[in-house]
């Protein structure tokens, strides 16, 4: 219905008051002649209000005469009436066309770059990297191949583990995941040890060069030498080798948090407020006057749809429909078991972000204790993972 009203606004329409005895016949004849009436409202048995396009209004007079109905124009709406009103106001028209030009530019070019996930890398460094590949504010959106840029940056940078590049509206979003530690490449001719990257208990060795120092079942801490690059030979000579291989150990990841049995939950009351806007994500024309949301607590859902008639000219020009659902806070209670399950789910999610992808989870231990209706939940993951890392040493 909104699209019908919008198209009607562009073409121009009127709200007509139609009075007569044969209103039903009047509507049927209009339908047969393909005269489009919409938003028909019955005032009483002998009067209706309806919206009619300007073009159809001239044809409708003949139908009115035939059905002995009287037609009066109640209100006029639309762009043609607006232009005729401001025909003598040139600056208003110039401003309107400038607005369209600005709107076109903002919907087809990058107007902002949002970067997330960078903790060590500076924003300015990443902006410069994008510029090297031809992306900056003002770049034509159609010329950006996000997949190609992602591959080029990943190939070039060793300090980025993952990158995501996407365009929403006229903004470009760059999300990265930095490598926690960039392991420098060591030449195979350089002597080195294998050391532990974290605390653990040794499970197995897969050594292809070097002398095993740690034993299976022994506990090691971060930095301990697991495999030595110094090998004493039978003839009392010493060989210095480049150790390499994998050392697998049991490791543990543990986290705990408090979760109350009594909590506040937001639930929908059934009241809804809708607000419509037109434009780009950065520049919108609101079809409402009161910007204030009439609810203290609410959930917002935004939908945006392209206008097909304008899609080629304004690819990022949307109809925005914001729906606000009123919510209220309700005090609720969980029993001890439900609270433990709720807390476990949250802590597991947090721990999975810390555990390396290649680590194999062998055991999960869950403990809890109730302290005055506040449940302390502790989750511990036991894993098997490779804790080996190369470390060079100097030869005296």
* pLDDT range class, residue 384, cuts 50, 70, 90: very high
Q: What is the pLDDT of residues 241-296, one digit of tens each?
A: 999 899 999 999 999 999 999 988 899 999 999 888 877 666 677 777 777 888 88
User: What does the alpha-carbon distance between residue 21 and residue 3 come to, in Å, rounded to a whole number?
Assistant: 32
15 token code pair:
């709200």
Tokens of 63: 């139908």
Cβ distance 121 to 159 under 8 Å?
yes
CB of 264 within 8 A of CB of 331? yes
Of 355, 396, 346, which Cα lies nearest the Cα of 375?
346
pTM of the model: 0.51
Helix H or strand E segment including 95: helix 90-108
b/e per residue, 272-311, with b = 16+ CB within 10 A?
ebebbbbbbbebeeeeeeeeeeebeebeeeeebeeeeeee
pLDDT digit string, tens, across residues 150-170? 888 888 887 888 888 888 777
Alpha carbons 376 and 366: distance in angstroms, whole number: 11
For the chain, give the mean pLDDT. Answer: 84
User: What would you measure as the largest C-alpha separation in the chain, in angstroms?
Assistant: 124
Cα 109 versus chain centre, distance: 20
E strands, 180-317, where?
Answer: 192-196, 200-209, 211-212, 219-220, 225-228, 230-232, 238-240, 244-260, 262-279, 284-286, 297-306
| Cα gap 252→380, rounded to integer Å | 7
Strand order in the sheet with 192-196: 211-212, 225-228, 192-196, 388-392
Indicate whether 331 pLDDT > 80. Answer: yes
The backbone torsions φ and ψ at residue 258, rounded to the nearest 5 degrees and listed phi first, read: -100, 140
Task: Convert the pLDDT of each residue in 42-60 to its tens digit.
Answer: 888 888 888 888 888 878 8
Q: Exposed, middle or buried by CB within 10 Å (0-12, 13-18, 19+), for 261? A: middle
Closest CA to 110 of 69, 67, 141: 141
Distance from C-alpha of 49 to C-alpha of 23, rounded to nearest angstrom: 11
Instruction: Provide the pLDDT for residue 153.
Output: 86
Instruction: Show the domains of the chain with their CATH numbers.
Output: 2-83 (3.30.70.260), 108-178 (3.10.20.310), 187-261+334-396 (no CATH), 265-331 (no CATH)
Q: Tokens representing 62?
A: 């003949």
Strand partners, 71: 18
Q: What is the pLDDT of residues 287-328, one digit of tens each?
A: 777 778 888 899 999 887 766 555 555 556 678 888 999 999
Residue with tokens 């909104």: 2
Backbone φ and ψ for 154, nearest 5 degrees, come out as -65, -35
C-alpha neighbours within 13 Å on the C-beta side of residue 328: 6
> What count of Cα atoms within 13 Å lies in the side-chain half-sphere of residue 298?
18
> Over the Cα atoms of the chain, what is R_g?
35
* Cβ atoms < 10 Å from Cβ of 225: 19
Eight-class DSSP state of 109: B
């Amino acid at each position: 219905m909104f699209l019908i009203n919008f198209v009607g606004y562009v073409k121009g329409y009127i709200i007509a008051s139609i009075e007569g005895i044969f209103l039903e016949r009047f509507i049927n004849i209009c339908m047969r002649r393909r005269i489009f009436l919409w938003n028909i409202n019955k005032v009483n048995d002998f009067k209706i209000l309806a919206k009619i396009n300007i073009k159809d209004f001239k044809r409708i007079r003949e139908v009115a005469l035939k059905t002995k109905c009287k037609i009066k124009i109640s209100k006029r709406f639309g762009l043609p009436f607006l232009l005729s009103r401001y025909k003598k106001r040139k600056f208003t028209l110039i401003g309107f066309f400038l607005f369209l030009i600005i709107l076109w530019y903002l919907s087809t070019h990058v107007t902002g770059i949002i970067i997330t996930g960078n903790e060590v890398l500076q924003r300015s460094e990443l902006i410069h990297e994008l510029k090297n590949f031809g992306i900056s504010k003002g770049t034509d959106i159609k010329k950006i191949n996000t997949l190609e840029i992602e591959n080029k940056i990943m190939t070039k940078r060793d300090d980025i583990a993952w990158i995501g590049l996407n365009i929403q509206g006229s903004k470009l979003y760059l999300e990265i995941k930095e490598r926690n530690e960039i392991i420098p490449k060591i030449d195979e001719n350089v002597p080195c040890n294998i050391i532990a990257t974290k605390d653990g208990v040794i499970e197995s060795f897969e050594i292809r060069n070097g002398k095993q120092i740690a034993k299976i079942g022994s506990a090691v801490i971060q930095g301990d030498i697991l495999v030595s690059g110094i090998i004493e030979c039978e003839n009392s000579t010493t060989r210095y080798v480049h150790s390499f291989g994998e050392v697998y150990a049991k490791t543990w990841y543990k986290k705990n948090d408090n979760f109350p049995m009594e909590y506040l939950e937001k639930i929908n009351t059934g009241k809804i407020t809708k607000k419509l806007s037109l434009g780009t994500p950065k520049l919108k024309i609101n079809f409402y006057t009161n910007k204030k949301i009439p609810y203290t607590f609410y959930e917002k859902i935004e939908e945006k749809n392209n206008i097909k008639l304008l899609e080629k000219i304004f690819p990022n020009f949307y109809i925005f429909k914001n729906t606000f659902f009123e919510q209220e806070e309700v005090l609720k209670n969980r029993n001890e078991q439900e609270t433990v399950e709720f807390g476990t789910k949250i802590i597991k999610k947090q721990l999975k972000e810390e555990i390396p992808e290649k680590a194999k989870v062998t055991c999960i231990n869950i403990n809890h204790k109730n302290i005055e209706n506040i449940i302390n939940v502790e989750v511990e993951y036991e894993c098997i993972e490779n804790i080996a890392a190369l470390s060079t040493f100097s030869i005296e």
